[in-house]
Amino acid sequence: MTESDPRRRRDPSSISRARRYTPRGRTVREAAGPEDNRARENGARDREAARRERNRAQQEETGDLAAKRRREAAARSRERRQRETGAVTAEPGATGTRRTGTVKSEPVRRTGATREQTRRTTAPRPARTRRTGTIASQRRPANRTTGPVPVRPAPRLPRLGSSSRRMRMAAAFVMVLLAVSGARLIQLQVTDSAAYAAEAMNQRLTTEPLPAERGSILDRNGNRLAYSIEANYIAVDPVMLKGEPAAVAAELGPLLGRPASELEPLIATKETPQGDAIRFTYLQRGVDLAIGDQIREMKDPGLIIGDDERRIVPGHDLAANVIGFTGGDNGEGLGGLEAAYDEWLSGEDGEVSYERSQSGQPIPGAFYREEEAVPGNDVQLTLDADLQFQVQNILEDTVEEHDAEFGSAMVMEVGTGEMLAMASTPTYDAANPFDVDGDEAYRDYGTQATVDPGSIHKAIVFAAALEEGCIEPDGTMPVAQTINKGGEIYEDGYPHGDAVLSLAGIIAQSSNVGTIQLADCLGPEKLYEYQLAFGLGEPTGVGVAGEAAGILQPPDNWSGTSYGSVPIGHEGTATIIQMAAMYAAIANDGVYVQPTLIDHLLDSSGEVEEEGPEPDTHRVISTETAENLQYLLQAPIVDETGTGRNAALEHYHLAGKTGTGGLVVDGEYAEGHVASFVGFAPAEDPQYVVAVSVYVPGGGGGGSTTGEAFKEINEFALGYFGVRPATEPAPVFDVWG
């Protein structure tokens, strides 16, 4: 242990002198004087300086010894390398001596044999001179030849790798990698962050429609003729679909009632022609809730089952040709009033957008936006469901009985123009509108079929003749059996020869000759004016989509035969509703009222939003003329020579006119006849107009074919609405002058 060791200087058995106390409570240092303290401090400094000097000397001695040992080790290492390379050759008798690398030696072959020249002895090594490092006692052998000694070059050893260089290269690579990664992160999070965020949102975002509830169609009493109930729609997101399209289509086909071949293209198509992803495609709408539950159990995230509605028509074929039907992807109106008032009934669809997971479930707390659907409004019709049912049954029986191809029947309220019943046949089930044999089933023959009206048109000539003074209500005129117009012979159906007929007789027997003579009195221009005034040549605007206007020939287009054909209802076409509106004008004391089907337009809560369209009204003939004609039109039913005797109704007085017209197909008249009967009741106080028309390919007159149907409809309508029976007997007409 040296003196500089702190353990030698420390006195473990006593406290420091600086901390010793005198008996008076003071330390030794405090008790000593200033001079003693300075001397003590100087001595401490001297001892510290001496200790440092000893440590320095000891370190120098230790350093010299270490340096000497390093030099000796280096010398031994050089000598060993020289021997191995053949640079030093040992002398005989002095094998233990060592030479410097500057001494030439014989070349030594490295053959693996033991070399005697290089054997080492145990003799002590001679001392080296410090200055040159050579052996002092070394001697050159006497038999050593002089001259250059060839030296075999040492083999080139592989270069050892540098760890520091590897570290620098690794550090550089890591820095480059970090720089590239940082640049990419900056690009993703700063430069392109909005685009990638939007793309990710689009992949998760799903937008589904919220179909608006379609409004109802009601009859005049509030009975629902067509309305919607809760259902499901089935759609597909091809991007999210997990199953194979063919397998999914095969499984959905029986459930949706559609062939798998129709569903597979919808399921498999993932992009539009423009390359945009398809995320929503309807497969079927109006699916029963039970079917929706079965499809939901398939648990395919690509199949979407949403809330929808299904159109219900409780009456099935009741007024189906008027009401129409819905269809298509959006459930829009495709026919009848459903099409005409589609915008009012449809409402406004809403939509819901939300983020959903890979399993197809909404992500809680994620983006969600909903636009509520605005329900559609209601339409209340003037039709009466009970009356419509009876009229439709009577018409179908008539068509079946007479082998008719089609027919129509309607009831119209006099004074208001409201249509109380509108029936057509053939018809269809509006609850299953696509199960039909042909498109003709959708046609409303009362408003869309144009035919030659035949003799029901003659009422216009009678009204105009009375109004213009060509004949008096009780007047008479000679009527021949036939008449020639433009080379065409026109004759009366009732054989009377050359006779004098009263106006009542002309009307009762539906005399063609008498009617043509009255039209000659009027002239073409005047007759054309009355035709227009009574609503011919243009649609009535009742409200049914696709209503026909018919054909009305102006006088400039008349030929020679037109003077005979036009007055009796030929060379022109009309719809049966036009004829009903014309007779309603006579029954309404000479005022024409536009027919209408719409009573009120209601909002979704059932409140009246607006009244039905105000019908167009205008006076056609005077009240006196209308009243006279109301009386005279009873003659075809009550007179024994009348064409409509089979329409006579007990307890009620009916007025009307029969007609036998033609059906033009492809510019030519088809076989058979269009038989019609149009009139009103009660005759003394008209309330309702009834019109019946059927096309019979086998032929048949208006009275014999439609007279019975006309009577039955009037009988039910008058009793249904509580019209009192007649108290006076039916009038008696003198048809002969």
Q: Which residues have a catalytic role annotated?
A: 455
The answer to whether the CB of 661 falls within 8 A of the CB of 674 is yes
Q: Exposure string (b/e) for 358-377, b if CB count within 10 Å is 16 or more?
A: eebeeeeeeeeeeeebebbb
State whether residue 327 is helix, strand or coil: strand
Interior angle at CA 467, CA 464 and CA 471, nearest 5: 85
CA 106 vs. chain centroid, Å, equals 104
Provide the residue type at 186 as one letter: I
Count the Cβ atoms, other than its own, within 10 Å of residue 156: 6
Contact in structure between 93 and 112 (CB atoms under 8 Å): no
What is the token pair recorded at 196? 């990638």
Question: Strand 217-218 vs strand 378-381: parallel, antiparallel, or unpaired?
Answer: parallel
- Which of 279, 236, 233 minimizes the C-alpha distance to 256? 233
| β-bridge partners, 617 | 593
Distances (CA, A) of 261 to 71, 210, 218, 294, 300: 98, 28, 39, 21, 20
| Helix, strand, coil % over all residues of the chain, rounded to 5 | 35, 20, 45
Radius of gyration of the chain from Cα atoms?
Answer: 61
Compute CA distances 336 → 257, 527, 616, whole Å: 26, 34, 22
Taking residue 421's Cβ as centre, other Cβ atoms within 10 Å add up to 29
Q: Hunting for tokens 């983006």 — which residue is that?
A: 367
Return all residues near 723 (Cβ < 8 A) that are at least 6 apart.
Answer: 652, 681, 682, 687
In degrees and rounded to multiples of 5, residue 285 shows phi and psi of -115, 160
- Residues in the chain, how many? 737
**DSSP state, residue 152:** P
Is 724 within 8 Å of 698 (Cβ atoms)? no
- Tokens for 385, please give them: 């469901």
Q: Report phi then psi at 287, rounded to 5.
A: -80, 140
Determine the Cα–Cα distance for residues 184 and 201; give it in Å rounded to an integer. 21
Q: Which residues of 473-496 are buried (b: 16+ CB within 10 A; e: fewer)?
A: beebbebeeebebeeeebebebeb
CA-to-CA separations, 553 to 15, 558, 563, 574, 673, in angstroms, rounded: 147, 7, 11, 11, 21
Q: Nearest Cα to 664, choosing from 538, 570, 532?
A: 570
Neighbours of 136 (CB within 10 A): 9
Could you give the residue ranges of the DSSP H alpha helices within 423-561? Answer: 445-448, 458-468, 503-508, 512-522, 524-533
Q: How far apart are CA 448 and CA 468, in angstroms?
A: 33
SS3 (DSSP) at 608: strand
The rounded distance, in Å, linking the Cα atoms of 334 and 327 is: 6
Judge whether 505 and 730 are in contact, CB under 8 Å: no
Bridge-partner residues for 355, per DSSP?
Answer: 205
Whether 547 contacts 539, CB under 8 Å: yes
Please tell me the distance from the alpha carbon of residue 427 to that of residue 321, in angstroms, as a whole number: 6
Q: Does 682 sit behind a cis peptide bond, omega within 30 degrees of 0 on the bond before it?
A: yes
Query: What is the residue whose two structure tokens read 């992500």?
Result: 363
